[in-house]
Structure 1
C-alpha cells in the first residue's frame, strides 16, 4: 500500500541557482519507519494545480543524522521540481513515503575501496554513501568523480570540500566542468577516458571493490561499459539513473489478460487490455499500489510475477538476476500472457 506520512519541513537552503536542499523532521514515533540505508530515496506527494503528483528524491543525509535531507533540482517543464524550488519553506508539511531503493552501501566489516562516478543531481545518494563508507571502517577509502557545468552549478560543493578536509587520506575527489575551466579540475564530461584515467592512471595501484554510478543514462552506460571492458565484474558495479530513455521493442499486444494482484495480504482480480501498463490498470481499479515516478527511473512500483509473463518498455534498474527471480517494474510492464499474477508483498 502507498502509505504516506506527513513530515514537517525543518529547513530549506539553496544549493545552486536551480536546486534546493530540503530537510525533514521525523517525529519520534516514526523514527523506525523512516530509518534508511545510505543510497535510498523518499517518495513525496503533493497536489499541484488540482492534480496529485508524486516524485522520488534520493536522501543525501547520513543515517545517523537527526533529519532527512533531500535535494531537488529544477528541471525544465518539471511540475514537482519547479513547484518545490519556488514554494517549499520551513514549517510546511509534506506527504512522504518511507525510504525505499536498492542502490545502497551495506557495511561488511571488511575494508573496502570504493569509486563513484556522479553527474549533476546524481551526487545526492553518492554523498550519503560516501559518508557511510568513510565511517564504516578506518581503512576504507572513497574516490569521487563528479561532473557539472560549473562550480556554481555544483550541488553540495561545500560538503564535498569538507569531506576532503576531514578525511585527507581516505577521500579523494576529481571534479569535471563542462563549461568552465577551473584549477585542479578537468574540462569536459565523464566518459570512458575519464574512467580509464582514474582506474588505470591516478589510482592504478588501488584495487577498487565496488563502483557506484549515478546520473543520466548515457553517462552511466558509458562508465559501466568501460568498467566491464576493463574486467570489472558486473556484480561490483552499482548504478541508479536519474533519467532514462531506453525503450524495448514490444511484441504485438492484442487481447486481454486476467490479472491477480496481491497487496498487503489482500488479493484483487481485474481484467486488463494487454496494451495497457500493469500499474495503470491496477490504479484504475482503485487498488492502492505503491508508485512514484511512473517513468521507470525509481523502483517504488516493483512487484514479483508469480504466474504469467510481461514485457517491460524500459528497464535500467532491475538486474538480470532480479528479472530471473520474477521482479518487474509494474509502471513499465505489459502482460503478454492470458493470465498474470503479481505480488507487491514479496519484494
Structure 2
C-alpha cells in the first residue's frame, strides 16, 4: 500500500530556466519501501492555505539493485500557476523535508535483451531517462532509440544526462533530437513531432515492427500523434506504452449516462473494508476519501493512475482515462477519481 514519508532534500539542480531536479535522501530503514521499477513516479504533497496539494513527478534516476535506493531524483517543470511546481522552483532548499509517497506507476520496462524505443516531448524525458539508463546498464544485449522533441536547446531538460548516456553507450543508444522553435546546425529540420511527420520519420530510423516496446511520454497531443503513427505503421497495440503529462483538454465520457440515484460504494483498502453512501456528484474516490483519508491518489485528473482500483461488482462511468491501458480496463480496473456509480451498489478493491 502506498504511504507517505518525510524525505530530506539533498540537492536542487537547475536544469533550465523553468525546471529543476530534486534529489531526496532515503533513510536506510525506508529503502525497501522506495524500491522502484524504471519509469515509476512519486507523489509529493504539501498544504497550501489549509488545503492539501499533491503532484506527481517521475523518477529520473536509475532503478536500484539490492535493498533499495539511498536517494531518489525527480524532475519538476514549472506549470503556469502551479501550486507545487512554483514552490519547487522558487522555495525548496537543501535540507528541507518533503512528504513523499512510495513509488507507483506502470509505465515501466523490466530490462531484457532487444530493441526498444521512446518518443518523448518536454518533461516526458524524465521517466524515460530512468528506463534507458537502467536498461543499458543492466542488459548488454539491449539497444534503445530515443526520439525527443523540445522547443529549444535551452529548454531541454536533462540535456547533459542524455549526452552522457550517449557517450557511455555510443553503439547501443541512438539519439534523435527535434526542436520546434530553433534550427539545429546538424540533424533534423525544426518542427513539431506530429503524426504525419513521425509516420515518415520512424521507418528511416529503425524497423518499427521489430521494436519490442515503444514508450510514449509527454503532452497529450504528442502521445496521441505518436500512437497514431505507430498504429499506421502496423505496430501492435500491446507493444505501445504511454504516459501523458500536461492534459489541458482531451476526450471525456459523454455526460449523458445518468448515475444511480442512491448509491453506496464498498471499498477494500490496505486489508480493511467499509461501505459508504455516495453523495450527489461525487467521484468514488471522493466518497472513499471522506471516510478513509489514506486512500491513494495524486493528480485527481485521470492521468497518473495512482487511484487505480479493481471493480469487483457494479457498474461505473469513467469521465476521463489517460492512465490505464486497454488491457487494464478490459481486466476490470478503473480510476476511482474519474468513476461515478451507475448502479446502486459498487464494490472496489484498491489492494489488487
Q: Is TM-score (shorter-chain normalized) higher than 0.5? A: yes
SS in structure 1 opposite 2:285?
Answer: helix
2-side partners of 1:204 and 1:339: how far apart? 49
Does 2:307 correspond to 1:301? yes
Residues 148, 178 of structure 2: 8 Å contact kept: yes
| Alignment map for 1:32-43 (pairs within 5 Å) | 32-43=32-43
Residue number in structure 2 paired with 1:248: 253
Residues 290, 301 of structure 1: 8 Å contact kept: yes
Residues 19, 157 of structure 2: 8 Å contact kept: yes
The alpha carbon displacement at 1:275 in A equals 2.9
**Selected match of 2:77 from 59, 68, 73:** 73
Residues 260, 344 of structure 2: 8 Å contact kept: no
Does 2:349 correspond to 1:328? no
The alpha carbon displacement at 1:285 in A equals 2.6
Residues 2, 103 of structure 2: 8 Å contact kept: no
Residues 198, 204 of structure 1: 8 Å contact kept: no
Residue number in structure 1 paired with 2:282: 276
The alpha carbon displacement at 1:318 in A equals 1.1
| Alignment map for 1:194-213 (pairs within 5 Å) | 194-204=197-207, 207-213=210-216
Residues 12, 21 of structure 1: 8 Å contact kept: yes
Residue number in structure 1 paired with 2:156: 154
**Selected match of 1:235 from 208, 226, 238:** 238
Residues 255, 273 of structure 1: 8 Å contact kept: no
2-side partners of 1:188 and 1:15: how far apart? 23
Residue number in structure 1 paired with 2:53: 53
The alpha carbon displacement at 1:274 in A equals 5.5
The alpha carbon displacement at 1:323 in A equals 1.1
1-side partners of 2:71 and 2:196: how far apart? 38
Residue number in structure 1 paired with 2:217: 214
RMSD (Å), alpha carbons: 1.6
SS in structure 1 opposite 2:84?
Answer: helix
Residues 309, 333 of structure 2: 8 Å contact kept: yes
Residue number in structure 2 paired with 1:84: 88
User: Tell me, which stretches of 5 or more residues in structure 1 are unaligned?
Assistant: none
SS in structure 2 opposite 1:267?
Answer: strand
1-side partners of 2:238 and 2:325: how far apart? 9
2-side partners of 1:73 and 1:114: how far apart? 26
SS in structure 2 opposite 1:164?
Answer: helix
Write out per-residue CA displacement over residues 126-158 of structure 1, whole angstroms, 9 at most, x where no aligned residue: 101011221232221111111111000000001
Question: 1:2 and 1:103, CA in 2 relative to 1: closer, same or farther beyond 3 A?
Answer: closer
SS in structure 1 opposite 2:93?
Answer: coil
Write out per-residue CA displacement over residues 74-93 of structure 1, whole angstroms, 9 at most, x where no aligned residue: 01111111111111111011
TM-score scaled to structure 2, two decimals?
0.94
User: Tell me, which stretches of 5 or more residues in structure 2 are unaligned?
Assistant: none
TM-score scaled to structure 1, two decimals?
0.95
Residue number in structure 1 paired with 2:98: 94
2-side partners of 1:98 and 1:204: how far apart? 37
Aligned residues: 344
